């Protein structure tokens, strides 16, 4: 039996459809769960918080959604060891809820994804992210080889990791840095970072390694039709590219 995955829908979420689809394409029993149906969340095996603009990103991106009653269930489930994946706005919510990097109390964030630098404007750009965490560090990425490169789309106004020097040191020393921005060949430098993110951060995990927060949208680069230059045109609907992350997610749940 496939693992049951809830894709949470807050007021303002807008990426749930493609997130549900790629989860299903890699073999998961995924469905979207509306914020009015949060009481059903305990029956699911794992949770995905997709992209969008939950509660219009008022105050800060993800700040209000982090206090939505649905997150009470996610926080409890994460404490029990269930897997949680947050993408873009979902990643912002996880940081605002204090689940990632998880170096402080719940709903007492020690870091945030905030306004892009230097422009402060919304960015829509194709990017690559590189797995820098040890393969055993995060359950969701455990099936990926060290240094795996994943194509994705950055589509955010607040994607820059920001924290105090003390908390940035906690992130690095605690092994919380999961993904960094990179070039397609795996080279890592400042030019690969689209938003000024501290540490070149594109993704973080918690101490236990059952939660992953990534800013770029791997699900928007997840099928052959997202790759017009691909030779395999006969299987245009087949998962590819960013689907590698979701295959690893599915393997972790198996």
Positions annotated as catalytic residues are: 88, 217, 219
Interstrand relation of 149-156 and 201-205 (parallel, antiparallel or unpaired): unpaired
Are 75 and 106 contacting, i.e. CB atoms less than 8 angstroms apart? Answer: yes
Helices (H), ranges, the chain: 16-25, 69-79, 89-96, 165-173, 243-253
Query: What is residue 201's DSSP assignment?
Result: E
CA diameter of the chain: 52
Element (H, E) at 47: strand 46-49
List Cβ neighbours of 189 (8 Å cut-off, separation of 6 or more). 183
């Amino acid at each position: 039996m496939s693992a049951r995955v809830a894709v949470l829908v807050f007021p303002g979420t807008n990426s749930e459809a493609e997130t549900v689809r790629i989860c299903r394409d890699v073999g998961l029993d995924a469905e979207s769960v509306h914020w009015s149906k949060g009481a059903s969340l305990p029956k699911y095996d794992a949770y995905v918080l997709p992209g969008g603009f939950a509660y219009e990103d008022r105050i800060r991106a993800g700040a209000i959604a982090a206090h939505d009653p649905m997150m009470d269930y996610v926080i409890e489930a994460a404490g029990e060891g269930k897997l949680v994946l947050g993408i873009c706005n979902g990643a912002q919510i996880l940081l605002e809820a204090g689940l990632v990097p998880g170096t402080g109390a719940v709903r007492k964030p020690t870091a945030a994804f905030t306004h892009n630098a230097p422009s402060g404007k919304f960015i829509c750009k194709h990017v690559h992210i590189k797995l820098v965490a040890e393969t055993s560090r995060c359950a969701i990425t455990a099936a990926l080889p060290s240094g795996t490169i994943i194509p994705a789309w950055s589509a955010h106004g607040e994607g820059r990791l920001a924290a105090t020097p003390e908390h940035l040191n906690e992130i690095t020393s605690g092994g919380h840095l999961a993904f960094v921005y990179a070039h397609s060949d795996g080279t890592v430098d400042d030019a690969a970072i689209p938003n000024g993110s501290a540490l070149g951060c594109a993704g973080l995990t918690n101490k236990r390694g059952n939660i992953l927060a990534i800013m770029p949208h791997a699900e928007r680069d997840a099928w052959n039709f997202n790759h017009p230059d691909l030779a395999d045109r006969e299987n245009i609907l087949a998962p590819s590219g960013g689907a590698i992350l979701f295959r690893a997610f599915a393997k972790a749940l198996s």
